[in-house]
Amino acid sequence: MTSSNKEPQKIYLKDYTPPTYRVDDIYLDIKVFNDHATVSSVLNMSREHDGKLVLLGRELELLNISINDKVLTADDYALDDESLTIHNAPDTAKVAIDVKITPQTNTALEGLYQSGTGDELMFVTQCEPEGFRKITFFPDRPDVLTEYTTRVEADKRFPVLLANGNLIEKGDVGDDRHFAVWHDPTKKPSYLFACVVADLAVMSDHYTTIEGREVLLEIYAVPADIDKCHVAMTALKDAMAWDEEHYGRAYDLDRYMIVATGQFNMGAMENKGLNIFNTSCVLSSPKTTTDERSFHVKAVIAHEYFHNWTGNRITCRDWFQLCLKEGFTVFRDQSFSSSHRSPAVQRIDDVGFLKAHQFKEDAGVLAHPVRPDSFVEINNFYTVTVYEKGAEIVRMIATLLGKDKFRQGTDEYFARYDGQAVTIEDFLSAMSVGDGRVLDFLAWYTQAGTPVLTGGFDVAGDSVKLTFSQQTRHVAGFDEPKALPIPIDVAIFHGESGELLAQELLLLTKDSDMFGFDGLDLGGVRPVVSVLRNFSAPVKLEFDYTDEDLVKIVQFENEGFNQWQAVQTLVGRLLFGKSDNVALLTDTLKRIVPTLMHKDPMLTARLFDMPSESELAVAYDKDYNPQAVKATRTALKEQIAHALADHVQVWYDSLPIVPYEDTPDARGVRLLRNVLFNLALTAKLDMTERTERQYTNATCMSEQLGALGAMIEFGLPNADDYTAQFYEEYHDNDLVIDSWFSVQAGADSRDVAFIKALMERADYDWQTPNRVRTTLGGLASKPTQLWTKDGISLYLSAVARLDVINPVLASRSLSALARWYTLSGDDKEMVKAELIALQQKASSKNVLEFLNNMLGDKA
Ligand code: ARG
Ligand code: ZN
């Protein structure tokens, strides 16, 4: 191990320089053989700026290189592990290069790699962010856009040969081999390149765009899974129509292909005209997929489709601008999802995710701005901050502008920058055409940390005076935080009748400010003030509500999100000892559930949410004691369950199992049934028979897995039998077996030794990220097990193993440990020693950057 490996090189946004050469077009010829592949490329390059001609390449065996048909010798260029520099390159250069690669041994799942084995063996690519350089030498950066023609050749045992764009030729080459040539007319950056060599079945459909273009839609999956592509296909057509209606954006090629692969580091990838998807984000059937997962499939299909405009046609100038495409696209997919179910529930889920994961990231040593200004390994910045907080910023802008001005801004953005690689400043400049205040949102992109918004109100006669102030912690290594523009949606209700007296979107732009509401008909009673409605800004709210105010918000609000938030705030007060009035909470639930459960069953289910143990950990910057947090949480959960015991079984029984339907209400009922079930078991009611009945009569995976999960979690008598039976039934379905692993690994009743045994099974495949995530995710969801000597050793031994085979997965797994230093005393020292031991043996820059940041000034 060299010392330079230990201190990987940092790249800074401020050092950005435009590319010296542009690439006018590229011809690629990719030939896949049994144990290797060859890639021949011809790049037509033209000088744009002074400087060297540098091509990036990694793990490539250079076979030949010529410029303008003159073969180069070793004296004509310099080659190292990362790049190829051509000396004295002419201003116009036809660069022809042959390289050899070995996708068969590429376990990192970046570049061209083999996925699956046997019948399911296929070759796929993942180029974002820097995988293209593992296929051939190229200026592999997002601001070099070019036109691709790709020839793919392989053995005929792989009938499917795909690349981006339109198929222009195919044929035989003898020796039982064949080829296909694809041409993509749109200029694109190399990270959007894709090709596939496989033996897959296809589901086809058509869509006619609003501009009259006939588009062939194809989803490719292994034959056994092809019938599980209907949900994705419908979602794709819905997404295409939605983008036309809401953003005026139509699809631009004659073909849109999606390929499902079992081994994939992330959810999916938006390659131009040829999306590649993790099977977990495309396959769905009622029998094998839970409602939650199936809804996620639709969201990811939409997300990748929306990238065609926000990402592909307008792309990022450099990787610091990743949020330009991801934040905006997440906002777009959230809005799409919100038209497929109760918008309040959509918002609750999105905010719940943000608080559980992004707030945690922002509160720890891995905190970074939505647009970072430096990085070692860009793969480490595909974070919840870039994605989810990035989406919240676009949402704030949309809220501030209102529907028409927001559309005016996005129209301007698409018109101005189509075909270009741009920055956040460009985005804000286009979005601000109707309202200059948008420009001030730049600070949200450049400043790390979650702002704390503190507020309260005074009443005088018929006036209400609201005061707010904001504060963001100073994140080490960054400038002093400054005040951000914070949109605060406020409603004021009459304190007794609940009549809505005022509603307004306030914009706090200073450290603190005051906002007056006059002439309200308060009738001499304390009004109910409901703030930050629909979570109008991604902040931690500390508003001086009384417990009674919160109960009235639940009663009076017409906005489902703030009803949920009020219940959550009550729960939080009980958890943190700021209130002990459990009855106030349970009485409220008893009052609203019976009617709400028939109106919006999913919202009803969400009202029973309790922050998870790891979410509660965010409240501690030191002396975090996982056991104590768990004890408090369990005690409250039990108190609530006991107080509701007489009702839950009745509520459960009023929701009988009915034939399967994929509607918001049916999904809501299934979720509510599982929630009530857990509540009843927490109250120690005898649910054994009901659980078994639900398992046996299940019409779909949500019901079956809901029952199995409860049996395992609460250690019901037949849990082991049903666990074995479940495995038997689904042993040949990898995604269902992933759930089987997850539900056990995440159960309180299963300890670290049990998880370790799961990881030693023959069907635990280290090459398949989905499988690896089941156990690591399960362990990470149980802080009382994770933060023990055995838990940490198991977790870090897995990371060490992944460091060698799949660095992207390895470092992503580490983020669950980012707040290790908040533990108290001995625990903290124990974890620190383990992290340092890993730091000494780790080799990938992905893992080293993470560990260096995690240990940094805390070490
Ligand atoms: N752009 C993809 C998305 O839709 C994410 C791909 C990132 N892949 C990776 N290996 N970092 O969000
Ligand atoms: Zn994306």
Q: Is the pLDDT score of 858 beyond 60?
A: no
Amino acid 657: pLDDT: 87
Q: Which residues contact 477 (CB under 8 A, 6 or more apart)?
A: none
**pTM, rounded to two decimals:** 0.98
- Domain C-terminal end among 142, 176, 199: 199
42 Cα: distance to centroid of ligand 2 (angstroms): 30
Q: Hey, CA dihedral for 371, 372, 374, 379, is it positive or negative?
A: negative
Cβ(382) – ligand 1 distance below 6 Å: yes
Range 445-466 average pLDDT:
97
DSSP 138: B
Q: Is the CB of residue 323 below 6 angstroms from any atom belonging to ligand 1?
A: no
Q: Where are the alpha helices (DSSP H) in 654-718?
A: 664-682, 688-697, 701-713
216-241: per-residue pLDDT in tens? 999 999 999 999 999 999 999 999 99
Burial of 336 (0-12, 13-18, 19+ CB in 10 A): buried
- The residue out of 430, 446, 462 marking a domain boundary is 446
Contact predicate 444/470, CB 8 Å: no
**H or E stretch covering 268:** strand 268-269
pLDDT at 2 over 50: no
Task: Answer yes or no: is 702 within a domain.
Answer: no
Is residue 226 a part of any domain in this protein?
no
**131 Cα nearest atom in ligand 1:** 10
**Ligand 1 near 379 CB (within 6 A):** yes
CATH number reported for the structural domain that contains residue 381 in this entry: 1.10.390.10
Contact present, 266 and 112 (Cβ < 8 Å): no
Position 366 scores a pLDDT of 93
Q: What distance in angstroms lies between residue 319's CA and the mean position of ligand 2's atoms?
A: 13
Number of separate helices (H) and strands (E) present in the chain:
28, 31
Contact predicate 281/383, CB 8 Å: no
Whose CA is closest to atom 6 on ligand 1?
Answer: 269
> pLDDT per residue over 271-313, tens digit each?
999 999 999 999 999 999 999 999 999 999 999 999 999 999 9
Instruction: Assess whether the C-beta atom of 270 lies below 6 angstroms from ligand 1.
Output: yes
* Confidence at residue 1, expressed as pLDDT on a 0 to 100 scale: 35
What average pLDDT does the chain have?
96
DSSP letter at 655 equals: S
Cα separation, 770 vs 738, in Å, equals 7
Q: Length of the chain in residues, anyone?
A: 859
**Nearest protein Cα to ligand 1, atom 1:** 269
Say yes or no: CB of residue 579 within 6 Å of ligand 1. no
Q: How far is CA 812 from the centre of its chain?
A: 12
Question: Looking at the CA of 265, which ligand is closest?
Answer: 1
Give the residue, by CA position, lying nearest to ligand 1 atom 5. 269
Q: Which helix (H) or strand (E) element contains residue 44? A: strand 37-47
Pocket test for ligand 1, best of 128, 332, 379 (most atoms within 8 A of CB): 128
Contacts (Cβ under 8 Å, ≥6 apart) of 262: 115, 116, 120, 278, 279, 734, 768, 770
Claim to verify: residue 193 and residue 330 sit in the same structural domain: no
pLDDT of 4? 39
**Residue holding tokens 């009622």?**
286
Residue nearest to atom 3 of ligand 1 (CA): 269
One domain for residues 30 and 176: yes
Q: Is the CB of 269 under 6 A from ligand 1?
A: yes
Q: What's the 302 CA to ligand 2 centre distance in angstroms? A: 10
Annotated catalytic residues are 304
Indicate if ligand 1 lies below 6 Å from the C-beta of 128: yes
Residue nearest atom 2 of ligand 1, based on CA coordinates: 269
Convert the pLDDT of each residue in 352-402 to its tens digit. Answer: 999 999 999 999 999 999 999 999 999 999 999 999 999 999 999 999 999
Residue 24 belongs to a domain: yes
Here the CATH number for the domain that contains residue 186 is: 2.60.40.1730
In a domain, 163, yes or no: yes
Mean of pLDDT values over 538-561: 96
Q: Is residue 56 part of a domain?
A: yes
Query: What ipTM does the predicted assembly reach?
Result: 0.97
Rounded to the nearest angstrom, the distance between the alpha carbon of 172 and the centre of ligand 2 is: 37
Query: Is residue 248 a part of any domain in this protein?
Result: no
Confidence of residue 5 (pLDDT cuts 50, 70, 90): very low
> Domain boundary at 403, 422, 446, which?
446
Q: Are 462 and 481 in contact (CB under 8 A)?
A: no
The three-state secondary structure class of 528 is strand
Compute the average pLDDT of residues 660-680.
96
Cα of 513 vs centre of ligand 1, distance in Å, is 40
Identify whether 118 is part of a domain. Answer: yes
User: Domain range for residue 73?
Assistant: 17-199
Is residue 164 scored above 70 in pLDDT?
yes
Q: Do 324 and 193 belong together in one domain?
A: no
CB of 266 shorter than 6 A to ligand 1 = yes
Euclidean distance between CA atoms 438 and 429, whole angstroms: 8
> Tell me, what's the pLDDT at 3?
37
pLDDT tens digit string along 305-352?
A: 999 999 999 999 999 999 999 999 999 999 999 999 999 999 999 999
**DSSP bridge pairs for 179:** 153, 171
> What's the number of domains the chain is made of?
2
* Contact yes or no for 821/781 (Cβ under 8 A): no
Model confidence at 158, pLDDT cuts 50, 70, 90, reads very high
Mean predicted confidence (pLDDT) in 472-477: 94
Same domain, residue pair 189 and 321: no
Q: What is the largest CA-CA distance in the chain?
A: 91
Res. 843: pLDDT tops 60: yes
Q: Which amino acid is at 768?
A: T
537 in a structural domain:
no
pLDDT at res. 6: 55
Range 279-300 burial, b when 16+ CB lie within 10 A, else e = bbbbbbbbebbbbebbbbbbbb
Centre of ligand 1 to C-alpha 270, Å, is: 8
The CA–CA distances, whole Å, from 246 to 241, 335, 340, 347, 501 equal 9, 10, 14, 19, 32
Contact 53 CB / ligand 1 (< 6 Å): no
**Band of the pLDDT at 532, cuts 50, 70, 90?**
very high
Average pLDDT over residues 665-676: 96
> Which residue puts its alpha carbon closest to atom 7 of ligand 1?
128
